[in-house]
Amino acid sequence: MKDYTRQFGTYHDRAMASPVTLTKHGRDALVLLSAADYEKLINAAASVRRSIKTSETPQEIADFLLPALEEKVRNFEETKD
pLDDT of res. 80: 73
To the question of pTM greater than 0.85 for the whole model, the response is no
CA quadruple 5, 13, 15, 23: dihedral, nearest 10: -30
Is 90 exceeded by the pLDDT of residue 13?
A: yes
Q: Mind listing the pLDDT tens digit for each residue in 22-74?
A: 888 989 889 999 999 998 888 877 766 777 787 888 888 888 788 888 888 88
Q: What does the pLDDT read at residue 34? A: 93
Averaged pLDDT, 7-12:
90
Q: Domain spans of the chain? A: 1-34, 52-81
According to DSSP, residue 55 is labeled: G
